[in-house]
Amino acid sequence: MSELDIGELLSDQIRRLMDEAGPAPDGAGLWSSLLDLGLDRAMIGEEAGGQGLAWTDVAAPLVAWGGYAAPAPLAEALIGGWLLGQAGLPAPEAPVVLGGGVPVPPGAWTLTSHSGDGRDILSLISPEGFTQTRPVAVGLARAALAVATAAQIAGALQRALELSIDHAASRAQFGRPIGKFQAVQRLAADLGLEAAAARAAADFGFRLLPRDPILAAGVAKSRASRAVRIGAACAHQIHGAIGVTEEYPLHRLTMAMWRWRDVAGGEVAWGDALARRYLPTTDRLWPSLVADWDQEATT
């Protein structure tokens, strides 16, 4: 099965799950459903009882998940499983969730990351408090969370675009749909641009994450976080007052996007990281850029 087939299959499962959950899903119920589907173990190696999927396999499912702003830690569970393999930590039979930013569901193991002596230390903590530690590359956990969050932002922006197009087609002013007005069309075009840019940046980040985490996160999260500012504003201008009502889904998407914007670093933090990478001396800027992008183009 191709990577696209796997991603679409998992995305379809998520859409069915969210359709069954309804407009106001319960977080505990969603988490239980994710465990039933085995999605928490998608990136754990097959030798450890997981599915052994790659980041490119789970890119589309994370985008789909972001389109619902669903209250369950799918991204953190995928990252937790992947980091176990990167650190050489044994995978428990229970789910493993990267902690620090979201509540860890009852019964799950927690994975934390902290810096020390030029490296990062991962700690795997059981519900009873038993801890195992391993070193990993500096910034690995933060970079993985940044790229995964960028994908969720891309999904939320895409869903906001779909809602905006539907609203512009059905809402009439002065005897015609507001989507016929050039100002509204321009807002929709700008929103579409930001959604596409965020998705492209996230896809790039997933391809690059296993071999160059800092560059992957720098590109993915800085561009996706920037897209929130422009895209959310366009969506709400198209919708007007209905966009902030409790019964309409747009406000939940934009609240999630603004929260995700700063998770694992926002556009300024990752922009600074890219600047530190490429600007130690100005005479090496162009050769460094060319070398990185040539490597990406040939892999």
pLDDT per residue of the chain (299 residues) written in tens, 0 to 9: 444 588 899 999 999 999 998 888 889 999 999 999 999 999 999 998 899 999 999 999 999 999 999 999 999 999 999 999 999 999 999 999 999 888 999 999 999 999 877 789 999 999 999 999 999 999 999 999 999 999 999 999 999 999 999 999 998 888 899 989 999 999 999 999 999 999 999 999 999 999 999 999 999 999 999 999 999 999 999 999 998 988 899 999 999 999 999 999 999 999 999 888 887 766 667 777 677 766 665 55
- pLDDT value of position 23: 81
| Fold for the domain defined by 3-138 | Butyryl-Coa Dehydrogenase, subunit A; domain 1 (1.10.540)
Among 237, 224, 166, 164, CA closest to 195: 224
Among 83, 70, 243, 242, CA closest to 147: 83
- pLDDT value of position 116: 74
* Tally of CB atoms within 10 A around 271: 17
Residue ranges covered by each domain of the chain = 3-138, 141-297
DSSP 54: -
| Fold for the domain defined by 141-297 | Butyryl-CoA Dehydrogenase, subunit A; domain 3 (1.20.140)
Among 45, 115, 36, 31, CA closest to 74: 31
Strand-pairing partners, residue 135, are: 121
